[in-house]
Amino acid sequence: MKTVILFGSPRKDGNTIQLSDAFSQKLKEKGCDVRIIYLNDLNIRPCQGCLTCSPEGVCRINDDMKDIRKYIVESDLIVYATPVYWSMPSSQLKLVIDRSIAFIDTEYNSRIKGKKAVTIMTCADENKDTFLITKDMFKRAFDFLGISYVGSIDATGCTEKGVVNKESIERAAQIAESLV
């Protein structure tokens, strides 16, 4: 199973990476091809809403979204990994979600229909409800994109760096294993 992890945290030594690494490591152990994209390192411009992309799926903005698009198209599983910022995904990840309008054609059909999606999220709050808004946004986006939401991994109580609890890390590995 070919997998791309769209990594939306700016911190490579924080919390979201702990879950992403556990997930990725298990998939690799099982022989999967996993690529992690550190979105914060890339040049991704905001969607301009021109819909030039609708007929052919080609965005008129010439930036790193070109490569991300290719990795998404090539993958069976897309992982959306993000810290919760103000109850929402990070801006780094939101840019990619907005630019994913290029996967929708003029008849509102998806060009990436049939792929699978997993979300990985961390937040400081102890209350799981903190994930609701982001999760709902993901659900709606995946429905529109015709991709199946096959797993959600989240960890609350992440106030400091690298403090994800053991249960959540184990769950990340379990979900990865269940998908192979």
Ligand X SMILES: Cc1cc2nc3c(=O)[nH]c(=O)nc-3n(C[C@H](O)[C@H](O)[C@H](O)COP(=O)(O)O)c2cc1C
11/66 with CB nearer ligand X: 11
149 near ligand X, judged by CB under 6 A: no
- Asked if 95 touches ligand X (CB under 6 A), the answer is no
Question: Among residues 61 and 152, whose Cβ is nearest to ligand X?
Answer: 152
The DSSP code sequence of 14-74 is SSHHHHHHHHHHHHHHTT-EEEEEEGGGS--PPP----TTTTTS--S--STHHHHHHHHHH
The correct pick among 44, 53, 117, 158 for binding ligand X (CB under 6 A) is: 158
Query: Among 15, 75, 100, 152, which residue sits at the site for ligand X (rule: CB under 6 A)?
Result: 15
Residue 91 binding ligand X, by CB under 6 A: no
Task: Please pick, from the candidates 123, 145, 173, 175, the single residue that binds ligand X as defined by CB under 6 A.
Answer: 123
- Please, are residues 82 and 120 in contact by the beta-carbon 8 Å criterion? yes
40, 87, 110, 174: which one binds ligand X (CB under 6 A): 87
Please pick, from the candidates 24, 122, 134, 152, the single residue that binds ligand X as defined by CB under 6 A.
122
Tokens of residue 99, six digits = 């630019």
Structural tokens at position 172 = 């990340």
The answer to whether residues 168 and 19 touch, using CB atoms and an 8 Å cutoff, is: yes
Binding of ligand X at residue 5 (CB under 6 A)? no
Binding of ligand X by 16 (CB under 6 A)? yes
* 9 belongs to the binding site for ligand X (CB under 6 A): yes
Question: Which whole-number Å values give the CA distances from 60 to 47, 67, 72, 92, 111, in the listed order?
Answer: 10, 14, 18, 20, 17
Closest CA to 122 of 175, 172, 52: 172
Binding interface with ligand X (CB under 6 A): 9, 11, 14-16, 83-87, 122-125, 130, 158, 161
